[in-house]
Structure 1
Amino acid sequence: MSTAATSPGSIRKLAGGVEGQRRSDLGDGTYINPVFAGDHPDPAILRDGDDYYVTFSSFESTPGLIIWHSRDLLNWKPLGPALPEPIGNVFAVDMCKVDGRYFIYVPIIATEISPDPAAPPQIYVLHAESMGGPWSEPISLGISGHIDPGHVVGEDGRRYLFLSGVSRVRLSADGLAADGPVEHVYDGWRYPDDWVTEAYALEGPKLTRRGDWFYLTTAVGGTSGPPTGHMVTVARSRSVHGPWVDCPANPIIRTWDAKEPWWSRGHATLFEGPGGQWWTIYHGYENGFTTLGRQTLLEPVEWDSEGWPQAAGGDLSTPLPAPTQQVGDQDHGMPLSDDFSEERFGIQWSFHAPSKDEYLRASLDDGLVLQARGTSPSDSSPLTCIVGDRRYEISVEVELLDGAQGGLLLYYSDRLFCGMGHDGDRMTSYRAGRDIPYWREPAPSTNVLHLRIVNDGHIVTQYYSPDGIEWTRHGLRFDVAGYNTNTADELLSLRPALFATGPGQVRFRNFEYRVLED
């Protein structure tokens, strides 16, 4: 039986944080990983003087490729999306600045231009005069079957892209076209065959120049699967044309034991930070919370007497000295609570796998109004936001218009989600990506309903209320620890989501996000 109750938990407020969300900067000259909590995979970083910019794989989320800015590497603010409209499945990118212009090299699968889902990935480029945009339309480089571009200007002054594999292609002087064939140039460092990994999977080449050397950072071992799989390897050469010599201390980063706090660490870039200190930025899964996706980690780098980089952060479970002595005077991130008084697409909200005209579904009119689509959350293209906290609650007011069903979810993918929907007559309960036909929750017949979901360390409790004051606990609780990549085989994360299906529209008001005490 459902029981009347208010939701449990108390607010955890971190100093200087936004809504109590996890923050890396501890405000005392130290920081703790992750620097980007929640699903921020395949970080691509660009230093431009004292400014740092980073973006991440956005896959099928639209708007995509959100650009973030920082001056201290710990506190980041979003500038907005480089890809505001649906384009396809967007993988790991690279960013650079050449001759005063900014470029993003982007692998895309099944684009709106060529929507065949069986087509191989294609490499495109965007360019702009400012990292804040506006960005150009994607321009095809004519490179097929590769992902993970890494841009570099060689000792010969020419521009090149390194690609998964590892292959390389020369670019035109303006960086907007391939200028030669794709050639295989590096076989990768081989780990012992008895190491427990997902697969060899040589990927993620990133190029960094330090002194007379070019350093080629790659990832091997697979990005999910066993926690000891993904790792960071380094090779170097005095020329972008090779030969490449492997670091004698490879891998420089790896999860050696499943008891460590961070799993499957890889896809790293070496870069110089404030004051000449060197760093590496990469992603990893949090032990016990793979539902949060691949989170972004920052680790200091030292150089040995032979000029090889060494990761110097240890197991990353304890605070480390901050990149600068600037102490806790900036906010990081953005508030997730939203009264829907202004558009926040591409800042907070994104549609999952939307159609080309998806934005025509959304408007701001006394709340957020979504035009209903599909027959269930699986084909409705829910509106989602990334969270990085282990324990939180979300709530929203739902108004049903013209026969639509609307609701609140924890959404991993179109095949894996849980939550509640209401069509004005009855409530539908969702678990493991489908409705639960044998459970009829006795929610009232109404066109306005308040919904609340509490995710307390993977244990999900749901509530509903006609007035937002007196709450009834949903009769079922869920364990969502398995809502992750090793279950669903998709490199995503579990996210709060709003959905609208059927005919008509759904109006959402006052989305609230609260962090609960650990």
Structure 2
Amino acid sequence: MACTIIFNIIGFEVKSQSKRKTSGNAPIFSNVLYQGNDQVYKDHPLAENEFYNPILQGCYPDPAITRKGDDYYMVCSSFAMFPGVPIFHSRDLVNWKQIGHVLDRTSQLDVHDTGISAGVYAPSITYNAGNDTFYMITTAFAGGLGNFIVKTKDPLNGWSDPIKLGFDGIDPSLFFDDNGKAYVVHNDAPDAGKEIYKGHRVIKIWEYDVASDKIIAGSDKIIVDGGVDISKKPIWIEAPHIYKKGGRYYLMCAEGGTGGWHSEVIFVSDSPKGPFKPAPNNPILTQRYFANERTNKVAWAGHADLVLGPDNKYYGVFLAIRPNEKDRVNIGRETFILPVDWSGEFPVFENGLVPLAPKLKTPAGIKNRTGQDGFIPNGNFSFAEDFSSEKIDYRWIALRGPREAFIERTKGGLRITPFESNIKQMKPTATLFYRQQHNSFSFTTTMQYKPNSEKDLAGLVCLQSEHFNYVFGITKKDDEYFLILQKNSRKNNGTEVVSTVVANCKVDISNPVQLKVESKGDEYSFSYNTGANGFVNVGGVVSGDILSTNVAGGFTGSLIGLYATSGNDATVSNLQ
């Protein structure tokens, strides 16, 4: 609670500071155009009864799904992004709308001083028909929460404040049995002194008291030790979900770590507390067995959840990645879906053990309306924004704190009041982010801005983390204005971030300036347009390596941000 109060105070201080700033010191962004241009979608146009996989492009990892009647709800990890835990709704598993975020208040989420890949991990969403209530359970590596739940009668009408749960580990999920009993399953460390190898984890279960929203003390039990076959030293058994079918209990987990050996495995028991027997045909989903060099590569598949579809057939959502031509992961982990064959004893993801294809058949009677009528687009698409709507689009997010602390709608567009913090600090920054959703894309914005000093800067940022990013913005030197491209990267995996001004040029700010970043796979370029001679490149072509998880580490994808700071450190002495 103390951390939350401090964060709220900081937020109010920032707002009061913004009122003292002149309007010329705060940039106004009048429009944005994001355009995806991946070759895979050009090579694989859709037929009338097809849709693209992934269903959520960009950094939407660790999907979990539930159903109430004809309504499906899906959530994803959000780490230090704010608001947290995006939530989506569908009636057919093809066409999805984002309906908000589960954690949209500072009383629910305190990530103000954490790294981008900390915060909220692996949420699970479950509908309990017994009390007509939705539960979201997750782990927060910030704010002192640990494992907690929030709940609601209606996902369209907001969620409760967190209810903290008293157990360790990660990746919790809830299972509500048809006899009224409830359970929490989660990943945890082995009992003290029993760890056999690095990456050795267990799956643990607790009984859960629905009336008090507490685990029942002393009811915990390890139901999987290590994984499918502990003699093979499997790593990171995690993301457990329990399902009941035909009177038996099925435990599905990820195994192999969130990387090249990632997979999904299944166990069965006559009791939710075990003993659980692994299926003989595990894994039931993976992409780990194929040649590294393959066309339209999809990898790292796992961390799945199952749901019964509208056609009375099972489907599974899961994460996977689409690396670029240099096998670098800039987009991040995305949400995919596959039909599941559960005609036998164990479920198997259909075509989940062969290289994943870029498109799927729609369920019978379902029309693909992605990108229409408010449904989220996929494939190659454009996203245009002029900030004229009363409510900002859910796809715009902040880091470590509310967007509303620094954004303001004006007649000319969106004003971003700068913070003193800059993009390299583990603090809330005045940056409005949009996820990179394609390996090849362009992102263009028009900005009106007049910095007062060399400490002021506004423009674009491409960010993998606080340690790895590019800044492309306008600042001041003496009585002239400069556009600079700054590269920030951590040195030798240490804590020191090395900042380099890659290029700079004088810029005329008498009229609004267009700023653009483009990516063609691993090659990124930055340019500007003052209306005189079209777009002019600054800095040539730069590598996207620092925007990949291969280099930066962590669990997020690259974000593109509209950025303002009064703490610019690409100072006069750095400019050439």
| TM class, shorter-length | 0.7 to 0.9
Q: What is the CA-CA distance between 1:390 and the residue it aligns to?
A: 2.4
Q: Tell me: CA distance 1:436–1:124, structure 2 relative to 1, closer, same or farther (3 Å).
A: same
Q: Which TM-score applies when normalising by structure 2?
A: 0.75
Report the secondary structure of 1:487's partner residue.
Answer: helix
Please name the residue that 1:369 is paired with: 415
Correspondence 1:400-411 to 2 at 5 A? 400=449, 403=452, 404-411=456-463
Match 1:324 to one of 341, 364, 367: 364
Please name the residue that 1:421 is paired with: 473
Please name the residue that 2:139 is paired with: 107
Aligned-partner Cα distance in 1 for 2:229–2:432: 41
Q: What is the CA-CA distance between 1:254 and the residue it aligns to?
A: 1.5
Is 1:333 matched up with 2:376?
Answer: yes
Any gaps of 5 or more consecutive residues in structure 2? 1-33, 112-118, 189-202, 490-497, 569-576
Correspondence 1:258-337 to 2 at 5 A? 258-259=292-293, 261-288=297-324, 290-303=329-342, 305=344, 307-313=345-351, 314-317=354-357, 319-329=359-369, 331=372, 332-333=375-376, 336-337=383-384
Please name the residue that 2:22 is paired with: none
Q: Deviations along 1:255-303, whole A, 9 cap, x unmatched?
A: 2122452211110112211211111111011143521111111112113
Is 1:499 matched up with 2:499?
Answer: no
Match 2:447 to one of 392, 395, 398: 398
1:148 touches 1:205 (CA, 8 Å); kept in 2?
yes
Aligned-partner Cα distance in 2 for 1:448–1:329: 36
Q: What is the CA-CA distance between 1:494 and the residue it aligns to?
A: 1.0
Moved more, 158-167 or 430-439: 430-439
Q: What is the CA-CA distance between 1:500 and the residue it aligns to?
A: 0.7
Q: Tell me: CA distance 1:468–1:491, structure 2 relative to 1, closer, same or farther (3 Å).
A: farther
Correspondence 1:155-194 to 2 at 5 A? 156-165=179-188, 166-174=203-211, 176-181=213-218, 182-190=220-228
Please name the residue that 2:249 is paired with: 214
Is 1:359 matched up with 2:383?
Answer: no
Please name the residue that 2:200 is paired with: none
Report which of the two has the higher share of helix. Answer: 2
Q: Deviations along 1:129-160, whole A, 9 cap, x unmatched?
A: 211122111121233x2211111123642111
1:168 touches 1:185 (CA, 8 Å); kept in 2?
yes
Q: Tell me: CA distance 1:432–1:13, structure 2 relative to 1, closer, same or farther (3 Å).
A: closer
1:64 touches 1:82 (CA, 8 Å); kept in 2?
yes
Match 2:270 to one of 238, 261, 273: 238
Q: Deviations along 1:6-42, whole A, 9 cap, x unmatched?
A: xxxx97799xxxxx999x9945222332111111100
Report the secondary structure of 1:486's partner residue.
Answer: helix
Match 1:77 to one of 55, 75, 97: 97
Q: What is the CA-CA distance between 1:205 and the residue it aligns to?
A: 0.3
Q: Deviations along 1:64-89, whole A, 9 cap, x unmatched?
A: 11211111211111101111134131
Aligned-partner Cα distance in 1 for 2:323–2:501: 34
Is 1:133 matched up with 2:157?
Answer: yes
Aligned-partner Cα distance in 1 for 2:393–2:262: 29
Aligned-partner Cα distance in 2 for 1:468–1:127: 55
Q: What is the CA-CA distance between 1:360 and the residue it aligns to?
A: 2.3
Name the aligned partner's letter for residue 268 of structure 1. A
Name the aligned partner's letter for residue 376 of structure 2. G
Please name the residue that 2:75 is paired with: 55
Report the secondary structure of 1:105's partner residue.
Answer: strand
Please name the residue that 2:24 is paired with: none
Q: What is the CA-CA distance between 1:54 and the residue it aligns to?
A: 0.5
Q: Which TM-score applies when normalising by structure 1?
A: 0.83
Moved more, 60-69 or 288-297: 288-297
2:150 touches 2:160 (CA, 8 Å); kept in 1?
yes
Any gaps of 5 or more consecutive residues in structure 1? 1-9, 15-19, 115-120, 505-518
Name the aligned partner's letter for residue 238 of structure 1. D
Aligned-partner Cα distance in 1 for 2:224–2:41: 42
1:277 touches 1:323 (CA, 8 Å); kept in 2?
no
Q: RMSD over aligned Cα, in angstroms? A: 3.0
Aligned-partner Cα distance in 2 for 1:175–1:264: 38
Aligned residues: 472
Name the aligned partner's letter for residue 439 of structure 1. A
1:426 touches 1:445 (CA, 8 Å); kept in 2?
no
Report the secondary structure of 2:155's partner residue.
Answer: coil
Q: Deviations along 1:453-477, whole A, 9 cap, x unmatched?
A: 1112221121112248732221321
- Of all paired residues, the percent bearing the same amino acid is 22
Match 1:33 to one of 53, 56, 70: 53
Match 1:91 to one of 80, 104, 121: 121
Aligned-partner Cα distance in 1 for 2:136–2:250: 20
Name the aligned partner's letter for residue 390 of structure 1. N
Match 2:437 to one of 375, 388, 406: 388
Name the aligned partner's letter for residue 321 of structure 1. K
Name the aligned partner's letter for residue 469 of structure 2. F
Aligned-partner Cα distance in 2 for 1:204–1:161: 12
Name the aligned partner's letter for residue 237 of structure 1. S
Name the aligned partner's letter for residue 252 of structure 1. I
1:32 touches 1:316 (CA, 8 Å); kept in 2?
no
Please name the residue that 1:204 is paired with: 239
Report the secondary structure of 1:290's partner residue.
Answer: coil
